């Protein structure tokens, strides 16, 4: 194996980090599949999920086992008693890295001169919103305080967010007092279901029913799509006394 023949600690760390980042990416995807993100709010616009915690444990534990003398700094503050799943531990190398020549300045670097920086899930806010193409796993390597290289892994590379639609279901009761039968006044109740274009915010919808039975749905505000919307919303109808002519006001 090429990694055994290499005398470059830097190349070994880069090579190992590539495979470790891939395993961290698997963890990030697996957590998303469960839907149990276990979000912790660390501060303003600063979230942490179960994927952040598991991925960082994977990265730091794997690197520490292979390179016990280097310094490793993770973005997340974790419980040192967290249980690490054995399948998260990576002890392999990306052999393609050793086809490259290590620069002379980094050829004989001591373990104590190296610091590895870890961001296990960059784009946590986007991750919680389902904007998965923004998510990356970052591992950076520095020598004597200078950044020299790193890994950017995209767990959802080429991910295409499915086109989704919000559905609105206006409801209401229209009473036409001019219609009467033996039982009393006739009332009509109906339910309608409409697909809402995804650039409209269903929270801003208004609907009304005119006196002659025309349903009017208004969505006055358009905003960019920022999250995957899969739910439904019931929009109450306001009954007005306005009468439309030929389908228009």
Cα separations in angstroms, 145 against 13, 93, 114, 136, 148: 16, 25, 8, 24, 9
Is 119 known as a binding-site position? yes
- The reply to whether 75 sits in an annotated binding site is yes
Other C-beta atoms closer than 10 Å to the C-beta of 60 total 20
Whether residue 58 contacts residue 90, with contact meaning beta carbons closer than 8 Å, is answered with yes
CA 120, 125, 129, 130 dihedral sign is negative
215 in a labelled binding site: no
82 among annotated binding-site residues: no
Distances 198 to 215, 228, 248 between C-alpha atoms, Å: 21, 9, 25
- Kindly list the catalytic residues: 52, 124
Q: What's CA 137's distance to the chain center, in Å? A: 13
Residue numbering of the annotated binding site for Mg(2+): 75, 119, 121-122
Residue numbering of the annotated binding site: 75, 119, 121-122
């Amino acid at each position: 194996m090429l990694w055994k023949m290499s005398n470059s600690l830097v190349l070994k760390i880069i090579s190992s980090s590539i495979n470790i980042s891939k395993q961290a990416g698997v963890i990030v995807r697996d957590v998303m599949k469960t839907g149990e993100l276990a979000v912790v709010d660390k501060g303003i616009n600063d979230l942490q999920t179960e994927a952040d915690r598991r991925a960082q444990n994977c990265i730091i534990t794997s690197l520490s086992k292979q390179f016990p003398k280097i310094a490793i700094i993770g973005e997340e503050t974790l419980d040192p008693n967290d249980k690490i799943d054995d399948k998260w531990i990576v002890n392999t190398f990306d052999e393609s890295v050793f086809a490259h020549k290590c620069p002379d300045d980094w050829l004989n670097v001591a373990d104590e001169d190296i610091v590895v920086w870890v961001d296990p899930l960059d784009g946590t806010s986007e991750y919680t919103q389902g904007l998965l193409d923004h998510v990356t796993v970052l591992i950076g390597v520095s020598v004597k305080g200078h950044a020299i290289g790193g890994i950017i892994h995209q767990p959802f590379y080429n991910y295409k967010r499915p086109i989704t639609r919000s559905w609105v279901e206006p409801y209401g009761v229209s009473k036409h007092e001019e219609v009467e039968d033996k039982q009393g006044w006739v009332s009509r109740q109906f339910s309608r279901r409409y697909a809402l274009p995804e650039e409209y915010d269903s929270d801003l919808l208004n609907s009304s029913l005119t006196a002659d039975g025309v349903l009017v749905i208004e969505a006055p505000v358009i905003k960019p799509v920022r999250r995957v919307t899969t739910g439904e919303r019931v929009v109450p109808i306001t009954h007005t006394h306005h009468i439309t002519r030929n389908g228009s006001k």
